[in-house]
Amino acid sequence: MSERERDQDLNVKVVLLSTLGLVLLLVVATAAMYFVTVEIRDRDQAGDSPPTPILQEAIDEGIPLEPPPPRLQPQPGASTGLVDRGVSPDRETAPEVEMRRFLAEEEQELNSYGWIDAGNGIARIPIDRAMELIIEQGLPETPLQPAVEAGGTERLDG
């Protein structure tokens, strides 16, 4: 094979120009992504982006800005902007705060006396006391109930 035949098989100029074009495209795309990311970050940090026309119309008409259930919580430390729009700050809580409050209420309920249904005489007792009563008195006896098997015959469950 002569040199002339090898030069015709591979055009170095086309390969170099194609490579240069791809590198240039990569640089331009990376720069565009960087500037878009910086713009989005700056808008989020400023927090002053104007409301959308639909949101502005709802604000003007006094329509509540709460979404329909389920109402999802913001990320810890993130602000939903509801306080800025006149919503009470206690409605804008982080999940950890809400979970601590919920667990404290549950703990209070597990460790206190109270009525579940006062009319029928059903009360709630602290869980530690309930365990002591079960140890002292044992579990209540329940009569065996007949169970119907798949073939239609009855058997006693225990």
Mean pLDDT of the residues in the chain: 79
pLDDT of 72 above 60: yes
Domain ranges (residues) in the chain: 11-45
Give 85-88's long-range contacts (Cβ < 8 A, gap of 24+): 85/59
Contact assessment for residue 94 and residue 74, using Cβ atoms and an 8 Å cutoff: yes
What's the alpha-carbon Rg for the chain, to the nearest Å? 35
pLDDT of 141 above 80: yes
State the Cα–Cα distance between residues 45 and 52, nearest whole angstrom: 18
Angle at 79 between CA 75 and CA 81, to 5 degrees: 140
Tens digits of residue pLDDT in 50-60 = 778 888 888 88
